[in-house]
Amino acid sequence: MISPDQHPIGSGFGPASTAMDVIQGIDLAGQTAIVTGGYSGIGVETVRALASAGAQVIVPARDRDKAARNLAGIAGVEIEAMDLADPASIAAFAGRINASGRPLSILINSAGIMAAPEARDAQGRESQFAINHLGHFRLVLGLWPALTAAGHARVVCVSSRGVHIAGVDFDDIDFRTRPYDKWLAYGQAKTANALFAIGLDRRGRKEGIRAFSLHPGQIITDLSRHLSQQEVDSFEMWEADGSLRNDPANGIKNVQQGAATSVWCATSPALEGLGGVYCEDCDVAVVGDDPSTRKGVAPWAADSELAERLWQVSEQMTGLRLG
């Protein structure tokens, strides 16, 4: 079943809007935010926008030196150690945040990997599903005390148009019987991000926690590090003179535009009373896929029944449950 709220609401913003555009007039003074992946690509711009509105932003980082370099000059930022591939590291980070007593108003799950070679985590799980989805599942459940303490919190899951590549194959999530395909694995993980937001929103709304997922746009960042030059070139991201294209109407964005929908989902008053929806271009997305516009969310990434199935599987895989 797809939510009747899964349709555009006329936000007043659009494909070319930037993170700084959507944060204008928003006051986050006294609020704490966490941005995973906040020291690379669109994550940096997400952190910059939230901090500019007065939030204290915590950036968990596997590479703290790189984080310090990339976030230098942005006031109101803390860097903490965490590795999304390591359950113990996630638990330790969440424990430190909860022990600090600070309510957590915003959690943006922006970190991830794309089209990576076949690999497995210590539990034997396929790496893209393990890092992009299970790592964030562990993180959200670990931070639940801090999120509920805020009384009014938002969790934002950065998905992508990769949802159109594949749904979640519940019979073979870890590619045990089917041949590994890096793009199918990526699509599955991104669909899981969207479904996670639906399941999370259903469980969190009574605690004042609402969740959203989104497609940021097509942007060249460190996320493409596993791709060949031929694969990168196939995205048609370059002008004839070798410069990066900027064509937001057709989904090709710069990092400032790519961060906008994350920031909008995390802060916009227009989303009050809504949750569990997939967004793009700083608005709620339509259901479907129009090849002429490259807009919309795949039906299997917006289905509440599939979201419940994923939640149960995620509990089994991690051994974690709310409460």
Would you please indicate which residues are annotated as catalytic (active-site) residues?
Answer: 186
SS3 content of the chain, % helix, strand, coil (to 5): 40, 15, 40
Starting at the edge strand that comes first in sequence, how are the strands of the sheet with 283-284 ordered?
77-81, 56-61, 32-36, 106-109, 153-158, 209-215, 278-280, 283-284
Question: H helices of the chain, where?
Answer: 19-23, 42-52, 64-70, 87-100, 127-129, 135-142, 144-150, 182-204, 229-233, 255-258, 260-267, 304-318
Q: How far apart are CA 116 and CA 309, in angstroms?
A: 25
Q: How far apart are CA 166 and CA 190, in angstroms?
A: 9
Q: How far apart are CA 39 and CA 19, in angstroms?
A: 15
Residue 304, CA distances (Å) to 24, 136, 199 in order:
33, 19, 7
Helix (H) or strand (E) holding 153, with range, is: strand 153-158
Parallel, antiparallel, or unpaired for β 278-280 and 283-284? Answer: antiparallel
Q: How far apart are CA 293 and CA 8, in angstroms?
A: 15
Q: 15 φ, ψ to 5°?
A: -60, -35
Give the residues across from 61 on adjacent strands.
Answer: 81
Q: How far apart are CA 284 and CA 289, in angstroms?
A: 14
